Amino acid sequence: MPSDNVGFFEERFQVRERFQKTFGDKTVPVYATALFYCFGGLTTLSFTIQVMSGALLLMYYVPDADVAYQSVHYISHTVPYGWFIRGAHFFGANAMATMVFLHTLRVFYTGSYRRPRELMWVSGVLAMFLTMAMAFTGYLLKWDQIAYWAMTAVSGLIAYLPVMGPPTRLLLLGGDGVSGATLSRFFALHVAIVPGILIITLVAHFWMIRKQGISRPL
């Protein structure tokens, strides 16, 4: 075997060095091994759980006002391990919201947003708001009374915003009140639009941390 035999992909695409640089071993500074530096990673872990369990829930969930609740009930009580997948999605959502909050606090109290990492903070805050949007839109999808009235209350709050309030509410609900149209909208937001933007934001966030490293605490 000749020593310049570098493998099928390397021969064609020459990506090994870049791959090593991006995904290979990286030295972690000692100060970043403290316990409260783990929340960003745990957010990523719970996001991964959300993507995987969410993809599986999609196989049975039906975003239709008539049968949405029934399909959720079906997942929880009839589909084998459906209770587990739905439980993973539920607790994963809570974990992600908690972890993203703790991660933000850690970054704030260690002053990690300072120059040159300003854009990491910006992308992180954007990702945090997108996480909240995921929680907000996902909550309606189970289509029970709690979800319905929660959405009625929150959309009422949105309508109180000056000038932009009522049109925003109309755009979000797809009508004057929470209805089947709202369910369709929130489904689209929850499974396609928001996660799409969130993944792009996270990729930017991770690329920056790879490029700039973890900040030294104050």
Enumerate binding residues for another protein (CB under 8 A): 1, 3-6, 10, 16, 20-21, 24-26, 56, 59-60, 62, 65-71, 73-74, 78-82, 84-85, 143, 145, 148, 175-180
Helix (H), strand (E) at residue 203: helix 194-212
Helix (H), strand (E) at residue 76: helix 68-77
C-alpha span between 211 and 153 (Å, rounded): 43
Q: What is the DSSP string of 78-126?
A: TSTTHHHHHHHHHHHHHHHHHHHHHHHHHHHHTTTTSTT-HHHHHHHHH
C-alpha span between 129 and 28 (Å, rounded): 28
- Mark 158-175 as b/e (b = at least 16 C-beta within 10 Å): bbeeeeeeeeebeebbbe
